[in-house]
């Protein structure tokens, strides 16, 4: 089994989309088309200018949230041997609130600066995002997300107990399971043979937990847009017992872009 398959991975499609769209601000021609195609951009629906405005509005909305602790952003590290166009950096700051730094990728302290930046932005949750840097790196773009909220219907800590968690068909581990017996939003996608549970936070945030009947189903099939729309439209509220395994440690994090 590859090493990464035995680890927890936090993967943010939003961060990938934001990174690719940010980079498109400084690209043109075929390169720009390839970057935007990576997020499924359809120019007949939205222009590139409208996409940048939508990201800007979304980040502005997040900044206004007070009932949860959320921090989303990005940072661009450019080699001191390069000279990014000022307008590119200005647009990144305007639309994506991105920080910009000029660094020497050959210097050991650059790695420390990047990891310290991520540690501060994630409130200490990720203390080492990057293990090494190629000294020939021209540009390094990272994105980060930090979220801490309270459940709309809190779990009672006294009902948390240890139980078995099935990692795969052959592996089980003992973990702490949160327990709740409430009226909750559930959905079953017959096409994907997947059960979905929605747990609400305060301030209009929600967590969706998907459990496929068959473990061969890829998560990317579950979280495609039509399925999410079906969940939001067809979800029912049912009373039942819920056991949730809280994972506190993220041993791998994606993405960052290095050129």
The domain limits of the chain are 3-148, 157-244
Q: How far apart are CA 131 and CA 115, in angstroms?
A: 9
CB of 206 closer than 8 Å to CB of 199:
yes
Report pLDDT for 249.
Answer: 42
pLDDT band at 43 (very low <50, low <70, confident <90, very high): confident
Q: Is the pLDDT of residue 160 over 70?
A: yes
Give the residue, 119 or 188, on which the prediction is more confident.
119
- The CATH class that applies to domain 3-148 reads alpha beta
Taking all residues of the chain, what is their mean pLDDT, rounded to a whole number? 82
Report pLDDT for 254.
Answer: 42
Sheet of 69-79: strand order equals 99-103, 69-79, 139-148, 256-258
Q: Is the pLDDT of residue 256 over 70?
A: no
**Residue in the block written with tokens 């994972």:** 247
Q: Is the pLDDT of residue 116 over 80?
A: yes
Please name which of 43, 22, 162 lies closest in space to residue 99, comparing C-alpha atoms: 22
Residue % of the chain over a pLDDT of 90:
39
The architecture of the domain spanning 157-244 is Roll (2.30)
Report pLDDT for 138.
Answer: 92
Report pLDDT for 241.
Answer: 52
Q: Is the pLDDT of residue 133 over 90?
A: yes
Q: Evaluate if pTM is beyond 0.75.
A: yes
Give the residue, 253 or 100, on which the prediction is more confident.
100
123: which residues sit within 8 A by CB, 6+ positions away?
69, 71, 146, 148
| φ, ψ for residue 240, nearest 5 deg | -175, 175
Report pLDDT for 212.
Answer: 80
Please name which of 72, 75, 77 lies closest in space to residue 133, comparing C-alpha atoms: 77
Q: How far apart are CA 110 and CA 104, in angstroms?
A: 7
Which of 29-38, 118-127, 232-241, 244-253 is least confident? 244-253
């Amino acid at each position: 089994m590859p090493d990464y398959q035995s680890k927890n991975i936090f993967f943010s499609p939003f961060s990938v989309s934001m990174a690719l769209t940010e980079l498109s601000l400084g690209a043109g021609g075929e390169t720009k088309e390839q970057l935007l195609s990576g997020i499924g951009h359809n120019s007949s629906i939205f222009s590139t200018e409208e996409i940048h405005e939508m990201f800007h509005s979304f980040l502005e909305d997040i900044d206004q949230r007070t009932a949860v602790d959320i921090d989303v952003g990005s940072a661009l590290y450019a080699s001191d041997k390069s000279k990014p166009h000022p307008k590119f950096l200005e647009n990144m700051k305007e639309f994506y609130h991105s920080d910009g730094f000029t660094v020497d990728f050959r210097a050991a302290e650059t790695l420390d600066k990047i990891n310290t930046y991520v540690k501060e932005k994630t409130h200490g949750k990720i203390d080492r995002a990057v293990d090494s840097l190629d000294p020939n790196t021209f540009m390094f773009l990272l994105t980060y997300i930090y979220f801490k909220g309270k459940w709309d219907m809190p779990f009672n800590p006294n009902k948390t107990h240890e139980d078995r968690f099935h990692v795969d068909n052959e592996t089980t581990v003992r973990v702490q399971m949160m327990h709740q017996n409430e009226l909750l939003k559930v959905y079953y996608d017959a096409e994907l043979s997947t059960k979905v549970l929605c747990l609400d936070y305060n301030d209009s945030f929600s967590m969706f937990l998907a459990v496929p009947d068959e473990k061969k189903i890829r998560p990317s099939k579950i979280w495609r847009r039509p399925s999410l729309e079906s969940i939001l439209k067809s979800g029912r509220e049912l009373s039942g017992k819920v056991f949730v395994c809280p994972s506190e440690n993220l041993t791998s994090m994606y993405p960052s872009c290095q050129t």
